[in-house]
Amino acid sequence: MSVCLSTVDLSLENVPDRDEIAAVRDLVRSFVAAELAPHEEAVDAGGEIPAGLRAQVVGRALDAGLYAFNLPAEVGGPGLSFLAQTVVRRELAHSSFALADLIVRPPRTLLHCDAGQRARWLGPAVRGEVRFAFALTEPEAGSDPGSMRTRAVWTPEGYRLDGVKHFISHGGTAELVIVYARTVRDGREEGITALVVERGQAGFRCTREDRTMGWIGSPLSELAFDGCLVPHENVIGTPGEGLRLALAQINEARLGVAAHCAGIAEHALDLALAHVRTRSQFGRPIGANQGLQWRLADMAARVEQARTVVTNVALAVDRAGLDDRDNSRYRIPLAKLTASELAGSVVDDALQLFGGSGFVRGTTVERMYRDVRAFRLGEGTSEMQRNRIGRALVGRLETP
């Protein structure tokens, strides 16, 4: 009997709530097969997700209870554990990134809204009525938010916002944007603050959408703010505490990326297995060749490494939280680094096993090859993750 890697998951075999996790996995797997997979080729070829398809997928996700799957039950989310959330991300990764990203995860920063803001923003976000973009990265402040140049100066009417953000997912389509800026009041810098800016507001515009090699249908945008007046009631939390709020969002995103990459690796291996069992050369399936079997064995080992580290880190986050020092500075960066690097190598091997057909534009493995490359860059490059892990291991040492 042949093995299908998506049904053999060593990382979950000893998880106490394995049956509940399996039920979540099966729900998402069915959703991907019915609602996302049929549209992959058309979206990749057309370069965008039609508005009608976007609305259809969002509606089906709401009906299935998958929309806003990262939020707790007390604010209207499904209240999934972090382990269950990583399983959702792994299964969504069996489709293209653009389509998977329609199953929105509202920014965790919204959990710090006051009662009025929850009614204005958080509730509608959970119900799929509005979509938020998360604007932290700048041309000179990517992995280093401490170098942020976007500023907002306090006035009696609100904060006057100036600056540029780039590589912002959903920046060109979201109705609301959480912008992180250095705020100043009476000549004194307050620190980094989270501000909500509404689309169409004076002084705010999307200046560019970048064409990327992967993630077709989910463009990255540049946003510019020129004297944009943000009302005081649009400040989330206390002025100056925005960096702490942003880091919680970043930690969740990094763990999510790790899970997504584990799912991509799993999907790539399953595709490769199906191919080598049916593709024949010299009168027999190519999977009968020992050299290819060794390559597949190495791929399987990397898939299990990725899944296991994601599972273990998710369990640690469930125990101690995203803000726990060891989770934030060591475990989550380790999961992101490990899974993104391993996924890249697994997809590369899968394309090699497909041969020339894997290099043809429009095939699933070719699209995966383009999609997976971004995950070693976004949410902190592999080099930055290594820096965090290294500092956690040896401490901060002075450079001579």
Report, as residue numbers or ranges, the catalytic residues.
379
Residues 196, 206: Cα–Cα separation, whole Å: 15
Closest CA to 362 of 29, 53, 46: 46
> What are the DSSP calls for 5-60, one per residue?
GGG--GGGTT-TTHHHHHHHHHHHHHHIIIIIGGGHHHHHHHSS--HHHHHHHHHH
182 and 151 in contact (C-beta within 8 Å)? yes
365 and 351 in contact (C-beta within 8 Å)? yes
Beta bridge partners of 22: none
- Strand 235-236 relative to strand 220-230: parallel, antiparallel, unpaired? unpaired
Residues 73, 351: Cα–Cα separation, whole Å: 41
Mapping DSSP to helix (H, G, I), strand (E, B) and coil, where does residue 393 land?
A: helix
Task: Work out the angle at residue 128's Cα, subtended by the Cα atoms of residues 251 and 162, and round it to the nearest 5 degrees.
Answer: 60
281: number of Cβ within 10 Å = 10
Residues 6+ apart with CB under 8 A from 120: none
139 and 98 in contact (C-beta within 8 Å)? no
Residue located via tokens 């140049």: 149
Residues 223, 269: Cα–Cα separation, whole Å: 38
Cα–Cα distance list, 180 to 12, 193, 224, 304 (Å): 37, 6, 13, 37
φ, ψ of residue 95 to 5 degrees: the values are: -120, 180
Question: What's the token pair of residue 360?
Answer: 């043809």
